[in-house]
Amino acid sequence: MEIPERGEKREPPQRQNGGWPMRLVVDLTRCQGFGQCAFLAPDVFRMRGGEALRDNPEPDDAQQERVLRAAAACPVQAIRVDRIDASDTATGMVAGAAAAAARSKPTPPPAVPPQRAGEPAADSWRASAVEAFRRGGRIVIVGASLAGLAAAAYLRREGFAGSLTLIGDEPYRPYDRPPLSKQVLDGWIPADHAGLPLIDQIDAQWRLGVPATGLDSIGKRVLLADGSTVEFDRLLIATGTRARPWHNEAEAALDGVFTLRTRQDAVALRQRLASRPGRVLVIGGGFTGSEIASACRDQDLAVTVAERGSAPLVGALGAAVGGVAAGMQREHGVDLHCDVTVTSLEGDGNGRLRQAQLSDGTTVDADVAVVALGAIRNTEWLHDSGLAVGIWGVACDAGCRAFDVNAVTTEDIFVAGDVARFPHPLYEYQFLALEHWGNAVTQAEVAAHNMVTPPGDHWPHLATPVFWSQQFGVNIKSVGVPTFADQVVLAQGSVSEPRFVAAYGYRGRLTAAVSFDHGIWLDFYQKMIEAAEPFPPAFPAVDEPSYRQPLPAQIDQKESFHATVTVTGHDPSERRAELIHIG
C-alpha cells in the first residue's frame, strides 16, 4: 500500500529531482473569479468565461513557486497548498461569512479544563475521561474520501493522539471528485492527479480497497469484506454515495454505457471520449449530466441530453433558472430533450451500444450513454446496526451524532458528508441531506470536534449550504437551499448574458440565492439568509434588473422518503422500534 501505516517512518513519496510533490485544492465555494492565479500560474490555473476557474491539483515541480505566489495573491485565500483547511486557524473550508466569523473567534480553550474549587466530582470525572480518550482512544472512520480525510486531519489538529483508522472501499488514495467531470474528462489532467492534500501528514492506519459490510454497534466493531473486524471507541460514518446505475442490468452491461462517480469511472469515460464517438447520450440533466454534456461539447463531440423534467437543473434550481440552463445548452449545440425519459438502450450483435429509445418515440443513435440519474447513499452495510438508516441516509442531530432506530442519539457514533441527514434550523428544522463539497468538509470538522470534546462543548453544524458547478463556460454558484422555496426573483443582472443573481424565498423569507457568473455577491446574500431577511430583497442592487416581479419557484423534483417502522412493548421501558428494510 502506498499510504504508510500508523507508526511507520516512511516519508511521503518524492519526485525524481528530490522535491516533495505539491498538492493543491481550490475551495470554489469561496473563489469569486478574480483570476489573479490564472495570470501568475497560467499552466496550473485556467479561467473560462467570466468566473469559471479550473486547476491542476498536482502541478509539476517547475510550477511550485508560481503556485505559492498565486495562493498568496488570492484575495479570498481560496487556494490551499498541501492542506485542506480553509483558514490559518482551526476552521476548515468554510465559505463566505461563516469563514470570516470563524476566523474572528478567539482560539478555543482546551477541551478539558482543570477542575475548579467546588466543581462537581461527576464533571471532573467526565473531563478526565475525555482527556484519557484524546490520549489513547480508538477512532475509526468508515469512508476514506473528502469528508473522512477532513475529519481525520481535524482530529489531529484538535490534539487527538490515539489510534486513528480510515476504511475505504476504493483502493486509491483519497481524491477530489469535482475534477473528474471537468479537468479529467476534457483531458487536461489524468485522473490520478486529483489527489487531495494531507494524505502523507495524517498519522493513521489505512484499510483501502476493503469495504465495510456491517456494524456491531453493541460490540463496537466494524465488519469488513475480507472477514476481519476493526474495533473502535468512537466511529464516524462518512461512506458518501455512489452513482445510480441504469435500471436494466443487461442494458447497463452494453459496451458504451457508463456512470461517473469514481476515478475508475472517469478513466474509462475519458478513454472512450478520446476515441471520438459519433454521439454521446447523457441520461439526466442534473449538475453531473450537464457538466458531462459541457465537457463533450468542449471536445466538439455531438451530445444529446435526455431530461425527464421541464429543463436541465429544474430539480435543484426550479423552472425559471432551469430555463436559462436549457438556453445555454442549446446555444452550445446540445441536442436537448426535456419532459422525456429513456425507455431502453439497445445494442448491436456484438454487445455494443447502438441506440436509445425515448418515451416520446424518438430514437437516438449513440455510441456512448452516460447514466447521470443521481446518487444512492451507501447505507446497506448498516441495515442491521440498530441505527436510523435507509435510502435517505443516516439520520443524525445537528451535532452529527447518529440516531438509533428509536430516534435516540448515540454517544459514540457520528455521521458526516453526503450520507448524513440532519436538521437545519434555518430551514424549519427540516432534515437535509446535502451532496455538496463544502458541506462534506464543514460537517466532518464539526463531527471531529464533537468526537473528542465533552458534550457541553459540542458544536452544532449550522453552516449555510454552498455549492458550485461549471458548465458551458459559466460558473454557477448557490448559497442556501433553493429547493426550500416557493418563489424566485431576478435580483441582479441579466439572464440574456447570462450574468445574474436569482433570489429564492419561502413564505416571505429569503432562503437561497443562485448566481450565474455573478458569484461575488453571494456573501452578501448569505448574510441576508442567515438574518432571515424578507423576500423579495428590498435593497437597491448593483445591476438591478428592470423586471423584479417574483415568479413561482417550480421546483420539479423534491425527494420524498418513507420509512416502515414497527413498535413493540407495553411499558415505556419496554417500548422499542424496528425499522423494516425492503429489498
pLDDT, averaged across the chain: 87
Residue 404 lies in a domain: no
Per the model's pLDDT, the better-predicted residue between 79 and 250 turns out to be 250
Q: What is the pLDDT of residue 568?
A: 76
Q: What is the pLDDT of residue 210?
A: 96
- pLDDT category at 417 given cuts 50, 70, 90 is very high
Residue 227 lies in a domain: no
Task: Tell me the residue type at 379.
Answer: T
Taking alpha carbons only, the member of 416, 450, 389, 404 closest to residue 240 is 416
Strands 420-424 and 393-395, sheet pairing: parallel
In this structure, what CATH number is given to the domain that contains residue 292? 3.50.50.60
Q: What is the mean pLDDT of residues 374-383?
A: 96
For residue 570, with 0-12 CB atoms within 10 Å meaning exposed, 13-18 middle and 19 or more buried, which class applies?
Answer: exposed
Q: What percent of the chain has pLDDT over 70?
A: 87
In this structure, what CATH number is given to the domain that contains residue 511? 3.30.390.30
> Which run of H or E residues covers position 316?
helix 314-331
- pLDDT category at 555 given cuts 50, 70, 90 is confident
Q: What percent of the chain has pLDDT over 90?
A: 67
Residue 112 has pLDDT above 50, yes or no: no
Residue 389 has pLDDT above 90, yes or no: yes
| Whole-Å CA distances, 381 to 138, 215, 292, 334 | 21, 7, 30, 40
Residue 242 has pLDDT above 70, yes or no: yes
Per-residue pLDDT tens digits for 327-367: 999 999 999 999 999 999 999 999 999 999 999 999 999 99
Helix (H, G, I), strand (E, B) or coil at 40: helix
Strands 229-231 and 393-395, sheet pairing: unpaired
Q: Which three cell numbers stand for residue 128?
A: 478526565
Q: Tell which of 316, 345, 373 closes a domain.
A: 373
Q: What is the pLDDT of residue 517?
A: 94
Residue 530 lies in a domain: yes
Per-residue pLDDT tens digits for 271-322: 999 999 999 999 999 999 999 999 999 999 999 999 999 999 999 999 999 9
Cα distance between residue 130 and residue 111, in whole Å? 8
Q: What is the pLDDT of residue 121?
A: 55
Q: Which three cell numbers stand for residue 269?
A: 469515460
Residue 156 has pLDDT above 90, yes or no: yes
Per the model's pLDDT, the better-predicted residue between 520 and 103 turns out to be 520
Question: For the ranges 93-97, 116-120, 483-487, which has the lowest average pLDDT?
Answer: 93-97
Residue 505 lies in a domain: yes
Taking alpha carbons only, the member of 222, 196, 194, 195 closest to residue 207 is 222
Cα distance between residue 43 and residue 55, in whole Å? 9
Cα distance between residue 148 and residue 131, in whole Å? 23
- pLDDT category at 13 given cuts 50, 70, 90 is very low
Q: What is the mean pLDDT of residues 514-532?
A: 94
Q: What is the pLDDT of residue 93?
A: 31
Number of domains in the chain: 2
- pLDDT category at 461 given cuts 50, 70, 90 is very high
Highest mean pLDDT, choosing among 119-123, 191-195, 287-291: 287-291
Residue 314 lies in a domain: yes
Cα distance between residue 437 and residue 567, in whole Å? 37
Residue 30 lies in a domain: no
- In our burial notation (b when 16+ CB lie closer than 10 A, e otherwise), range 266-279 reads beebbebbeeebeb
Note the helical H segments in 163-286: 249-252, 263-274
Per-residue pLDDT tens digits for 252-268: 999 999 999 999 999 99
Residue 94 has pLDDT above 60, yes or no: no
Query: What domain range is 546 assigned to?
Result: 472-552
Residue 482 lies in a domain: yes
Question: For the ranges 6-20, 66-80, 89-103, which has the lowest average pLDDT?
Answer: 89-103
Please state the pTM of the whole predicted model.
0.87
Q: What is the pLDDT of residue 11?
A: 37
Q: Tell which of 335, 358, 373 closes a domain.
A: 373
DSSP letter assigned to residue 115: P
Residue 213 lies in a domain: no
Residue 102 has pLDDT above 70, yes or no: no
> Which run of H or E residues covers position 71?
helix 64-73
Note the helical H segments in 354-501: 437-451
N-to-C CA span, the chain: 36
Q: What is the pLDDT of residue 561?
A: 65
Q: Tell which of 351, 373, 395 closes a domain.
A: 373
Residue 6 has pLDDT above 70, yes or no: no
